[in-house]
Amino acid sequence: MFGMDAYVHLCFMNDHPMEYKARNEGRVQNTVWLRIDPAIIKQAGVRITNGVSNRSDMVTMDPSTQIDTLDLEVIYQGTDWKDPEIKKRRIEAKKYEILVPDSVPLQFIRNIDG
């Protein structure tokens, strides 16, 4: 998908396949995970994806109408990650992204002083 460089890419969990790949290839040494206020999803221009956003066939979605299409149960509820079916769902959910245009305003970053 073109134009993805205009967004800050956020994930729903402290784990993402692209970070894992970059770390294993040595392109990233120390990952710092920022905790972002979930209210960011209500900001103008924010989009979501149900997979990695740089996939050529990925379509971004309006979170106000499409958030319920994501498997939020495996992200936010206590599920048995050892269950093979739940594990498979969780692997897919790790690919979900929140796309914020331009930058994340500081008031949405919870784990920095400022």
Q: Convert the pLDDT of each residue in 18-76 to its tens digit.
A: 788 888 899 988 888 889 999 999 999 999 999 988 888 999 999 999 999 999 998 88
The answer to pTM > 0.95 is: no
Reduced to 3 states (helix: H, G, I; strand: E, B; else coil), residue 86 is helix
Q: What is the pLDDT of residue 2?
A: 59
Average pLDDT, integer, range 102-112: 93
Q: What are phi and psi of 60, to 5 degrees?
A: -80, 155
Nearest residue to 43 (alpha-carbon basis) of 99, 5, 114? 99
6 vs 77, more confident: 6
**Domain layout of the chain by residue ranges:** 7-108
- Burial code (b: 16+ CB inside 10 Å, e: under 16) for 36-71 equals beeebbeeeebbbbbbbbeeeebebbebeeeeeebe
Q: Assess whether pLDDT exceeds 70 at residue 114.
A: no
79 vs 84, more confident: 84
Average pLDDT, integer, range 63-92: 89
